[in-house]
Each structure stands twice: as C-alpha cells, then as structure tokens.
Structure 1
Amino acid sequence: MNVRQIFGSLACGAVLLTGVAACSDKSPEKAETSKSGTSDKANGGTDTAAAPADLLKLGVEQGQAGNFDEAKATFDKVVAAESNNKFAWFNLGFIAQSRNQADEAISNYDKALAADATYKPALYNKAIVLESKEPTTSMDIYRKVVSIDNKSSTAYLRLGLLLSQSGDDAAARDAFKAAIRLDKKLTSSVPAKYRAVPAASSSARTGR
C-alpha cells in the first residue's frame, strides 16, 4: 500500500494509516496532497453504513487530500463502531499533532496503545510530542521503540539528541552511532562533536 507521508521531517510513523504499520525515516517538510483524492467521498461525503475498514480507507483519502476536518469526522465514526481500533486512534492523534494540539494527540495515541502497547507508529509520534515538555518520558519511549525495532534509525537519532541535551554524552554517542550505522544519510543530523573521526585522518595524525 502506498501511504503518503504528511508530517514533519524525521517523523517515522507519522503518516495516515489504513491498517498496516508504516515507518519511514524520510518525510517531507510539509503536507502533500493525494493525486487520487478527488472522489465525492474523498471530498467530504461519507457512507454511514460503511464497514470500519472502508471508513479507514476513506479517512486516509480525505486526509491525503488535505480535508482534515472530514477525515477526523470519518475516523470518529470508526472508533464509535470499534473503540479499540488502533489505526483510527492513531490517525486522530496524527491529525491533532499536525494541528499542534498536543494533549489531544497524546490522548489519542494512548488509546491506540491501549489496543496495542507495542504499536510503533503511535509510540514514535507520542515521543515526538513529548520531546519538549517531558524529555525523560520521551527518551523512555524511544528506548521502547528501538527495543521493538532495532533498525529504527530515526528513533536512535532523536534519542541521541535528547540524551545530548541531558548531558549524557556517552549514551548519546552510542545512540548516534547506531543511527548512522543504520542510515549513513543521518550523519548530517548528528551534532559534529559526536561524529566519528574518519580512520584515514586518524592514521595520518598517528603517522606524524
């Protein structure tokens, strides 16, 4: 399934989902619109008798088309029918997060996590919301993310940045090392003092 990414940079998991976990290390700086979101349903019409799976798909189409109000209404219908639908709660959290409604976003992510405590997209996005207000909790969540998926390079990167801010340079260095090992393109996002010195340069200095 092709799911467009419509949240901020390095937001792994921050996409509208229809029913599969998604996680990407790359994300554009601003929203993209869906090329296929031109149907009557995608532009606001809903089928109140539709199955939750169909409503999820419709809500994603609406969100990709930039119709977040309609998408929210559609996802609300999903959770009214299935109170433990983690995908709908995640999408509601995503919409709130994209609108800078932090408390609502966290509440919705928590409901997704109540249905599946290891649901990585909700964990990751919740950690992002908490970075500035509760950095210690955010770090704990990033640690949980990488324990679930040890290839989550951007979780390691964001964990490293928080560890650096807390003054734990040794742990930050380890986190950055893991991020770069998994994705060398993240090197430029790592503070310069944590980047490894190239072996050639080190040998040259030793030779002198």
Structure 2
Amino acid sequence: MGILQEKYHDPKAAAQTYARVLELEPENKFAWYNLGVLAQEAGRTGDARAAYDRALKADPAFPPALFNEALLLERSDPDQAAALLHRAVAAAPPAATAHLHLGRIWARRHLDREAAGEFRLAVAADPSLRSQVPEKFRDSPDPSSPSSEAGSDS
C-alpha cells in the first residue's frame, strides 16, 4: 500500500503506512528503507540517514539501503560512502552503479588507477553506464597492465 501511495505522489500517506508497518514490525527493513527514500526525496538527509541506518540494523547487507546512504555521504564523507559502496558490491554483485560511484569517489581523489578499475567494472556489468563515466576514463588502459601506473592520468 505504501509503495502505491508513493507511486501516486502521496508521500504523507505512504509515510503513515510505513509507520503503521513499523508499529507491527519494528525491524522491517523495507519500511525503514522506504521511509528513508521519502525523507531523501524531501531533502531531509538526516532523517533519511537515520531510516537507512535502521534498515541496516535489521539487515546489515541490505543493498538498497547501503547504496542510498552512500549517495547521501558521497561528497560530505567519501570514506564512509566508499565503505558502504564496498558492502553493497559484496552483498549484490555486480552492483554496476555502486562501482560507478566508487569510481567517482576515487577520481575526485586523483586515484586514477582505482577509478579506472571501478569504471571498468561498472561498464562491464551495465554497458549503458558508459556515458556516465568521465571522458578521461572511458578508454583507459587495463589497470593490471604493466604500462599502467597508480595515479597516472592515462
């Protein structure tokens, strides 16, 4: 019911439905996750993080909550975001979009070899993501080749 309410743009009713679910099942990861999505869409990042944390308390390997919380932290706390994305990849390979975001984190830190590897994994898992890979990394060499060096711009 809450998902339908979200679909039909009634976030207040959806939140009430999820709250009722949580009265019956306080550890329902889906209800916590969906409350997080509603809060994130409303720009309430603190509430979203708290809801994702509750979903992850119920299931520490719940990929949607790991991924969404990582997105919230990608700019403000890239180390924590990377840790969450690594957990998401471990929980649900191939996790193409998680690899894409890891690549972005490493690229911002000028860790080009790591970024290239993550972008390569993202595109291998979902070729449609190629257009989202920064131009610099679209045709980068294999990071395991002897001519590639860590931190290089190639």
Q: 1:186 aligns with which of 129, 144, 152?
A: 129
* Cα distance in 1, alignment partners of residues 72 and 24 from structure 2: 27
What residue number does 2:61 align with? 118
Contact 2:62 2:91 in 1 (8 A): no
CA distance in 2, matches of 1:153, 1:78: 31
Paired position in structure 1 for 2:50? 107
Q: Distance in 1 between matches of 2:140 and 2:55?
A: 42
- Residues 130/197 of structure 1: CA separation in 2 closer, same or farther (3 Å cut): closer
Larger Rg: 1
Counterpart AA for 2:91: I
Q: How does 1:156-175 map to 2 (within 5 A)?
A: 156-175=99-118
Quick one: percent identity of the two aligned structures? 35
- Code of the residue aligned with 1:102 in structure 2: it is T
RMSD of aligned C-alpha atoms? Answer: 1.3
Q: 2:34 aligns with which of 80, 85, 91?
A: 91
Alignment partners' CA distance in 1, 2:90 and 2:21: 30
**Partners in 2 of 1:154 and 1:161 — Cα distance?**
11
For the residues of structure 2 that align with 1:83 and 1:113, how far apart are their CA atoms? Answer: 13
- Whether the aligned pair in 1 keeps the contact of 2:116 and 2:140 (CA below 8 Å) is no
d(CA) in 2 for partners of 1:176, 1:197: 9
- Give the match for residue 150 of structure 1: 93
The answer to whether the Cα contact below 8 Å between 2:29 and 2:56 also exists between their aligned partners in 1 is yes
Find 1:131's aligned residue among 60, 74, 82.
74
Cα deviations by residue, 1:40-93 (Å, 9 ceiling, x for unpaired): xxxxxxxxxxxxxxxxxx111111110000110111111111110001000100
Offset of residue 177 of structure 1: 0.7
For residues 161 and 126 of structure 1, what CA distance do their matches in structure 2 show? 16
Q: Which runs of 5+ in 1 are unaligned?
A: 1-57, 199-208
Count, aligned residues: 141
* SS across alignment from 2:79: helix
Deviation at 1:197, TM superposition (A): 6.0
1:61 maps to which residue?
4
**TM-score, normalized by length of structure 1?**
0.66
In 1, distance between residues paired with 2:9 and 2:101?
28
What does residue 84 of structure 2 align with? Answer: 141
More helix by share: 2
Measured in 2, the distance between the counterparts of 1:59 and 1:185 equals 31
